[in-house]
Amino acid sequence: MKPLAHSYYCGTSDEQIIYETIGVYFDRICAQFPTTDALVVRHQDIRWTYQELAQQVNDLAAGLLALGVEPGDRVGIWGPNSYEWVMVQLATAKIGAIMVCINPAYRTYELEFALNKVECSMLITAEHFKTSAYLDMLNHLAPELANSKPGELKSKALPHLRQVIRMGDEATPGMFNFATVCSMGGDKEKKRLKQLQAELKPDDAINIQFTSGTTGNPKGATLSHCNILNNGYLTGAAMGLSNEDRLCIPVPLYHCFGMVLSVLACVAHGATMVFPSAAFDPLETLKTVQQEKCTALHGVPTMFITELDHPDFSQFDLSSLRTGIMAGAPCPVEVMKRVLAEMHMEDILIAYGQTELSPINNMTLPNDSLERRTETVGRAMPWAEVKIVDEEGHVVPVGEKGEICTRGYSVMQGYWNDPERTAETIDKSGWLHSGDLATMDEAGYVRIVGRIKDMIIRGGENVYPREIEEFLYQHPAISEVQVFGIPDDKMGEEVCAWVQLNAGQTMSEEELKAFCKDKITHFKIPRFIKFVDEYPMTVTGKIQKFVMREEMLKDLASSSHSKG
For residue 356, give the nearest of 236, 238, 208 by alpha carbon.
208
Which residues have C-beta within 8 Å of that of residue 424, sequence separation ≥ 6?
A: none
Better-scored residue on pLDDT, 351 or 563: 351
The yes-or-no verdict on residue 388 having pLDDT over 70 is: yes
380: phi then psi, degrees, rounded to nearest 5: -60, 140
Contact 59, 185 (CB under 8 A): yes
Strand residues in 57-189 grouped as ranges (E): 74-78, 98-102, 122-125, 163-166, 176-177
pLDDT in tens, 16-54: 999 999 999 999 999 999 999 999 999 999 999 999 999
For the entire predicted model, the pTM comes to: 0.85
HSE toward the beta carbon, residue 198, CA cutoff 13 A: 4
Mean pLDDT of 209-223: 76
Contact 516, 525 (CB under 8 A): yes
The yes-or-no verdict on residue 301 having pLDDT over 90 is: no
What is the CATH topology of the domain spanning 459-563?
GMP Synthetase; Chain A, domain 3 (3.30.300)
DSSP helix/strand/coil, 482: strand
CA dist., res. 126 & res. 517, Å (int): 52
User: What confidence tier does 546 reach under pLDDT thresholds 50, 70, 90?
Assistant: confident
User: What confidence tier does 63 reach under pLDDT thresholds 50, 70, 90?
Assistant: very high
CA dist., res. 1 & res. 293, Å (int): 39
Question: In Å, what is the CA distance from 529 to each residue of 138, 211, 476, 525, 526?
Answer: 42, 30, 17, 10, 7
Tell me what the pLDDT averaged over the chain comes to.
93
Q: What is the pLDDT of residue 80?
A: 96
User: What confidence tier does 256 reach under pLDDT thresholds 50, 70, 90?
Assistant: very high
Contact 79, 126 (CB under 8 A): yes
CA dist., res. 365 & res. 228, Å (int): 20
Burial of 433 (0-12, 13-18, 19+ CB in 10 A): middle
Mean pLDDT of 393-407: 97
User: What confidence tier does 460 reach under pLDDT thresholds 50, 70, 90?
Assistant: low
User: What confidence tier does 442 reach under pLDDT thresholds 50, 70, 90?
Assistant: very high
Q: What is the pLDDT of residue 519?
A: 81
Q: What is the pLDDT of residue 490?
A: 74
% of the chain surpassing 70 pLDDT: 97
The yes-or-no verdict on residue 457 having pLDDT over 80 is: no
The yes-or-no verdict on residue 558 having pLDDT over 90 is: no
DSSP class of residue 268 equals H
The yes-or-no verdict on residue 538 having pLDDT over 80 is: no
Q: What is the pLDDT of residue 215?
A: 42
User: What DSSP letter does each residue of 342-394 carry, written as one string?
Assistant: HS--TT-EEEEE-GGGSSEEEE--TTS-HHHHHH---EEPBTEEEEEE-TTSP
* Residue range 50-211, CATH number: 3.40.50.980
Better-scored residue on pLDDT, 145 or 113: 145
- Residue intervals of the chain classified under CATH 3.30.300.30 are 459-563
Cis amide leading into 536 (omega within 30): no
The yes-or-no verdict on residue 132 having pLDDT over 90 is: no
Better-scored residue on pLDDT, 106 or 289: 289
Starting at the edge strand found earlier in the chain, the sheet holding 176-177 runs: 176-177, 163-166, 122-125, 74-78, 98-102, 205-211, 219-224, 414-415
The dihedral region occupied by 465, where left means phi > 0, alpha psi between -120 and 50, and beta the remainder, is: alpha
Mean pLDDT of 479-494: 87
193: phi then psi, degrees, rounded to nearest 5: -60, -40
CA dist., res. 349 & res. 143, Å (int): 48
Question: What are the residues facing 406 on neighbouring strands?
Answer: 386, 432
Alpha helices in 458-508 (DSSP H): 465-472
The yes-or-no verdict on residue 561 having pLDDT over 70 is: no
Mean pLDDT of 148-158: 97
Q: At 108, which amino acid appears? A: T
Q: What is the pLDDT of residue 213?
A: 47
CA dist., res. 81 & res. 88, Å (int): 12
- Residue intervals of the chain classified under CATH 3.40.50.980 are 50-211
Q: What is the pLDDT of residue 105?
A: 80
Mean pLDDT of 269-273: 98
Question: What are the residues facing 415 on neighbouring strands?
Answer: 221
CA dist., res. 470 & res. 486, Å (int): 20
The yes-or-no verdict on residue 2 having pLDDT over 90 is: no
Question: Which of 62-76, 200-214, 233-247, 426-440 is predicted least confidently?
Answer: 200-214
CA dist., res. 239 & res. 294, Å (int): 13
Contact 427, 407 (CB under 8 A): no
Burial of 461 (0-12, 13-18, 19+ CB in 10 A): middle
Q: Are strands 219-224 and 205-211 parallel, antiparallel or unpaired?
A: antiparallel
CB atoms within 10 A of CB 202: 19
Q: What is the pLDDT of residue 214?
A: 39
